[in-house]
A = this chain, B = another copy of it.
């Protein structure tokens, strides 16, 4: 039952897969590009969902649910959006199977059950939602409409990776409607801040807030705001996006409202989403060669307790003390697990919970009981301490907070150290290959240059930072004049 994992140094990509599989977050499935989210991984996602959902509701949003299917005629209504997703759409063409006359016990698609109009499985829901909003919005009194949906979506990716890029994934998508351009922009920025708050303060992953270059914008958006995180291999990961959609969807679906001034006007829109991809970000930002390291605020199990005993009598004594300690921890809202499964030895359990990234492990033996102490091991630093059982709950509570803060500080330090200015093309290429991270460089502002840099180096513009410093310079590739630096990186 030993679970060896590849080290980061040996093969970063394999290390990641090992963590996800052996940490029991997810599994491959029989469906190309789709994964199974295992109970431990799903419990992590549930904690993330709960925190985000509360943040959405606290900012005035409500949840709803729209159909999985988008009729082709609606899908293609907003042309840029349709064009952007057309190549990765799963398409339902039939609605019935029948027994295969030439193959006993097998089924075949019934050719007589062909749909008159094909149905696209939503890769994102702007089309179906704005077609619905048309019926809900007549007057400025119906605005703003602040709706979020938790759902599955499908994007037929050719190259997939567990959590980071799967054909089906789970996400939330907010879709809001506003009377004015200004209000919609405020909303898009507000939700970017909500995402940054969540990713930094719950996931302990620092992010940079910015806007995308036109090349990297969401198909159908006027402006895409994003948060970008830095992984331990120096590659960037887009952790969330929030789009100002202008009136594009309102025009495509003819959604107008009567303003206070009694004018018929098109509605302004935003959409914003984060997905199970965040689980992948979490894994890659924090874990080490022994396994996952989960931030306490969203860890499914915050504290695991392992008894060390010989014989039933010692076990009974430990059980009694653990019961007492557990009650104290639960009173503080701490999520605990007492693993007294006698099929596995303590050493095996230690390795198992290290693999699973449980923030704090308590080991309690007969001799500890006599001294009224317990061994406390923290996952992030691997530090072990013997702590008096009196007041243990408060100690653990403070320790969980310290771990949360320490994880963020460590990741923040890594990110800060991996934002490097480049002032020449040689330096740019060398930094990318030797150090990685974000390279802050001048860019002449054209899509052609961005494309050329991508072709040469596989690096893309991750974002133009919000409130970016304006300074005159020369484009890193073309030498043409530039007014600001942007952040380049290779990315997931």
Task: Please report A residues at the B interface, Cβ cutoff 8 Å.
Answer: 27, 29-31, 34-39, 42-43, 45-46, 62-72, 74-76, 79, 82-83, 86-99, 105-107, 109, 118-121, 128, 131-132, 135-136, 141, 147, 151-152, 154, 156, 168, 170, 343
Contacts and interface: CB of A to CB of B under 8 A. Distances in A.
Contacts of A136: 27
Nearest to A87: B96
A107 B168 contact: no
Given A96-B88, A120-B97, A46 B67 contact: no
A34 B95 CA distance: 14
A136 to B, nearest CB: 8
Contacts of A70: 31
Contacts of A98: 86-87
Give the top 8 A-B pairs by smallest Cβ distance, nearest first.
Answer: A34-B67, A39-B62, A37-B65, A86-B97, A95-B156, A91-B94, A31-B67, A93-B93
B91 A29 contact: no
Given A30-B74, A31-B71, A63 B39 contact: yes
B91 A90 contact: no
A335 B109 CA distance: 49
Contacts of A67: 29-31, 34-36, 168
A132 B27 contact: yes
A128 to B, nearest CB: 7
A298 to B, nearest CB: 15
Contacts of A34: 67-69
A38 B133 CA distance: 11
A11 B77 CA distance: 38
A424 B344 CA distance: 65
A106 to B, nearest CB: 6
A76 B105 contact: yes
B94 A147 contact: no
A168 B69 contact: yes
Contacts of A79: 105
B29 A66 contact: yes
Contact of A91 (B64, B82, B86, B93): B93
Nearest to A63: B42
A43 B64 CA distance: 8
Contact of A42 (B45, B65, B135, B170): B65
A95 B89 contact: yes
Interface hub of A43, A90, A105 (most chain B Cβ within 10 A) = A90
17 contacts: A27-B132, A29-B66, A30-B128, A31-B67, A31-B70, A31-B71, A36-B67, A42-B65, A43-B63, A69-B168, A79-B105, A82-B97, A89-B96, A91-B93, A121-B121, A151-B152, A152-B152
Contacts of A128: 29-31
Nearest to A152: B68
Given A29-B66, A31-B128, 18 more contacts: A30-B131, A30-B132, A39-B63, A39-B64, A42-B62, A68-B152, A69-B90, A69-B168, A79-B105, A82-B107, A86-B99, A89-B97, A90-B119, A91-B92, A92-B92, A93-B109, A96-B156, A152-B152
A91 to B, nearest CB: 4
A240 B29 CA distance: 29
A79 to B, nearest CB: 6
Given A106-B76, A119-B31, A64 B37 contact: yes
Contacts of A45: 65
A74 B93 CA distance: 20
A143 to B, nearest CB: 13
Contact of A90 (B42, B71, B95): B95
Contacts of A107: 72, 75-76, 82, 86
